[in-house]
Chain A
Amino acid sequence: MDGHESNLPLAGIRVIDAATVVAAPFCATLLGEFGADVLKVEHPLGGDALRRFGTPTFRDGDTLTWLSEARNKRSVTLNLQHPDGARIFKELAAKSDVLCENFRPGTLEKWGLGWDVLSQINPRLIMLRVTGYGQTGPYKDRPGFARIAHAVGGISYLAGMPKGTPVTPGSTTLGDYMTGLYGCIGVLIALHYREKTGRGQYIDAALYESVFRCSDELVPAYGMYKKVRERHGPHHNDFACPHGHFQTKDGKWVAISCATDKLFARLAKAMGRPELASSSIYGDQKVRLQHANDVNEIVRDWCSSLTRAEVLERCYATATPAAPLNDIADIFGDRQFHARRNLVAIDVDNTGETIIVPNVVPKLSETPGRIKSLGPRLGEHTEEVLKDLLGMSDAEIGELRARRVI
């Protein structure tokens, strides 16, 4: 390890990622970016389903999502349903700090790899368990994906035109990623506690809970006033106006948000109609909210008379909060994304072929995270891990391979 590597906050931490697709694996991805050694334990036949999620590539048909999100991981094949696979898994767990899994509740237990067994083997182990509905409660055995979690957690109900068909809230995997973030917070808190006490624990994360937790005042507003929030379409004018999406002359879209009267005054100035922000017209948020349709109409007319570039230029000139609704092509061309190095080209297996992936978030000043490699080939590191970590011989490994345990 060079100086920077050994200086990373999670250097020396070993993580087993025995999970699939995005949610729990994203937690392992984050830990790996900041120095943890992540072992991706996969079924010998086909491996993680994420390898087939999205657009396939020239590299064994592994998808772009796999290459990007399995970054920094080492792939170890192991059939957990086989008793020898389960035995080797226990040996790995004994030498690891964190285990991420997302099997349906009861599955690991069925294979003899439940929390009671693993925590006995390694009392310092921290285990992240992710499922659609959590480890407890009446729905715990139901299959759950992010789309289902968005629905159950209350966010899908809110996305779409008023009374129209509810739409996907931007991205179908949002809830997976959010759960990975919460899971990672849980793991880091548990690591902190372990430093003090030597004791591990498990984190019980449910996809629907991550989505539900991020719902501002939805819960208390129903609890106290029985207020049921409905779909808002492109404008959310419960608390602020204007606050929405407006189309420009060239058929593009901008977001404008005036949370305060001061910000509306800036917009009025940008529109060349400062009088709109006078107290007798729309200077007061309460008045704007009462006449939201009229205010939105004025902003809509103004936006549709100019190109997106012109609208934004005028908004920025008066410091009005506004932005383009960027598509991915806009993002690739944007100066801010470039300046912040949000897009980074990483070499695929040292072939000279690169793919562009989103860079590490968040940015730490002293110990920045890094992407060392993209998603590994299936089983690429099985041999090295079994040898180096568990001291197995070539003969043993050959025998396990022949029996398809690895």
Chain B
Amino acid sequence: MPLSGIRVIDVGNFLAGPYAASILGEFGAEVLKVEHPIGGDPMRRFGTPTTRHDATLAWLSEARNRKSVTIDLRQREGVELFLKLVAKSDVLIENFRPGTMEEWGLSWPVLREANPGLVMLRVSGYGQTGPYRRRSGFAHIAHAFGGLSYLAGFPGETPVLPGTAPLGDYMASLFGAIGILLALRHKEKTGRGQVIDVGIYEAVFRLLDEIAPAYGLFGKIREREGSGSFIAVPHGHFRTKDDKWVAIACTTDKMFERLAEAMERPELASPELYGDQRKRLAARDTVNQITIEWVGSLTREEVMRRCLEKEVPVGPLNSIADIFEDEHFRARGNLACVEAEGVGGVVVPNVVPTLSETPGRITNLGPPLGNATYEVFRELLNISADEIKRLRSRKII
């Protein structure tokens, strides 16, 4: 495995940051989830419960490939143990409110002294610097602050959630994982570690194509666009006769020509009518209406078949039930069924991305609280069994 031999400490809560550890774990890193001895990561209680009291479905899926080690960082002895663990690790991931680690005596200078090669990912709502750094921020807040939520919904109407609540947590983690992998490379060359500082809102904002330069240069404020887009027509969601939905995206004139053929109205793509994107954009409502009527006259299966025949970019708006039925998801192995201790088989999304030589894998789902505490303290830190017992009785671990 490409990351075998890399040890990662994930001391974060929920997803923003910890998901970066999941990815590293999928490709071979050893991930130690360091949790509070009482209750552990609140992610264990977030979402739909299972037969196991310490694990929701979200926890089982996203805390994959980890070992759980309990340490109370609010106790001095806990901090000392944690530093010993840091000395034997390569990567540390945290997402406390900025200043929290410092309060516990775990500032970057202290951590770096314990391990000069340490790579540390810090994820927070607003980043480690700037006037809002102390504000609490979750993905929901970051979607709003970063400019994404303003754009989701119909023009002039209520802005809706941009699909899923924790999207920004995933995005921040993806950027975080990139930062870690870059920093590991630098460390291999120089021996020096460093800090990666990600604000969740920044991860969201970075992905908004030309919104910043268009305002900077032309004062253009992008508004909500409903199911469409400013770049092309038709480019949106359309309801079929059987009350399902399809997405159609004609980004170029060629694709509109294909759609016109699929509709058996090739004349629509003539230069006098709507063959030109500029003309379509100018006649947006008319072109959309034509598409709405055609799609509304057929079942989803029929629309899909006719569009695919002409190579029109089209896709069903899949619910999760549709996804479980889909042959392509099955063929790509996107749904993995993994045995979870005390629960049985759980279907979870499989590893992304797919590597040809060194594919990732899921070794286990979210672990029981503290399942590796003894093993890690005994074997990695060489602490005696008696001492472990004492630490346990004092609820330090």
Also in contact, A327 and B147, with CB within 8 A (given A54-B214, A188-B181): yes
- List B contacts of A189 (CB < 8 A): 2-3, 27, 181, 355, 358
Binary interface profile of B, 316-331, with partner A (CB < 8 Å = 1, else 0)?
Answer: 1111111110011101
* B203 at the A interface (CB under 8 A): yes
B57 touches A174 (CB 8 A): no
* Chain A residue at smallest Cβ distance from B223: A327
B317 touches A151 (CB 8 A): yes
> What total of A-B pairs shows CB separation below 8 Å?
499
Chain A to chain B contacts (Cβ below 8 Å), 20 pairs: A142-B308, A148-B315, A152-B315, A173-B207, A190-B357, A212-B334, A213-B170, A217-B58, A220-B61, A224-B346, A226-B321, A233-B161, A245-B159, A327-B221, A328-B211, A335-B130, A339-B129, A342-B205, A345-B216, A367-B182
A323 touches B127 (CB 8 A): no
Q: Contact check: which of A184, A215, A232 meets B178 at CB < 8 Å?
A: A184
* A37 at the B interface (CB under 8 A): no
Q: Contact check: which of B2, B131, B193 meets A339 at CB < 8 Å?
A: B131
Binary interface profile of B, 244-283, with partner A (CB < 8 Å = 1, else 0)?
Answer: 0111010110010000000000000000000000000000
Tell me the chain A residues, 244-265 only, with Cβ under 8 Å from chain B.
244-245, 247, 253-255, 257, 259-260, 263
A161 touches B160 (CB 8 A): yes
* A209 at the B interface (CB under 8 A): yes
A363 touches B127 (CB 8 A): yes
* B294 at the A interface (CB under 8 A): no
B216 touches A356 (CB 8 A): yes
* B364 at the A interface (CB under 8 A): no
> How many Å lie between the Cα of A177 and that of B245 in the bound state?
24
- List B contacts of A97 (CB < 8 A): none
* A223 at the B interface (CB under 8 A): yes
* A343 at the B interface (CB under 8 A): yes
A148 touches B313 (CB 8 A): yes
- List B contacts of A67 (CB < 8 A): 213
A185 touches B231 (CB 8 A): no
A221 touches B131 (CB 8 A): no
A283 CB to nearest B CB, Å: 17
A157 touches B318 (CB 8 A): yes
Also in contact, A364 and B231, with CB within 8 A (given A147-B247, A148-B247): no
* Chain B residue at smallest Cβ distance from A57: B217
Q: Contact check: which of B192, B217, B313 meets A64 at CB < 8 Å?
A: B217
B159 touches A325 (CB 8 A): yes
B198 CB to nearest A CB, Å: 5
Also in contact, A165 and B227, with CB within 8 A (given A362-B179, A362-B196): yes
Interface residues on A, range: 35 or more
B215 touches A219 (CB 8 A): no
* B132 at the A interface (CB under 8 A): yes
- List A contacts of B329 (CB < 8 A): 212
* Chain B residue at smallest Cβ distance from A243: B140
Binary interface profile of B, 6-36, with partner A (CB < 8 Å = 1, else 0)?
Answer: 0000000001000000010001000000000
> How many Å lie between the Cα of A204 and that of B349 in the bound state?
16
* A366 at the B interface (CB under 8 A): yes
Q: Contact check: which of B148, B177, B314 meets A171 at CB < 8 Å?
A: B148
* Chain B residue at smallest Cβ distance from A223: B347
Interface 9-residue window, one of B79-87, B99-107, B183-191: B183-191
B242 CB to nearest A CB, Å: 15
A172 touches B163 (CB 8 A): no
Q: Which 4 A-B pairs have the closest CB atoms?
A: A223-B347, A356-B216, A339-B130, A255-B144
* Chain A residue at smallest Cβ distance from B197: A363
A171 touches B209 (CB 8 A): yes
* B210 at the A interface (CB under 8 A): yes
* B152 at the A interface (CB under 8 A): yes
Also in contact, A156 and B131, with CB within 8 A (given A172-B229, A323-B137, A364-B196): no
Q: Contact check: which of B159, B207, B215 meets A253 at CB < 8 Å?
A: B159
Binary interface profile of B, 132-153, with partner A (CB < 8 Å = 1, else 0)?
Answer: 1001111011111111111111
A167 touches B226 (CB 8 A): yes
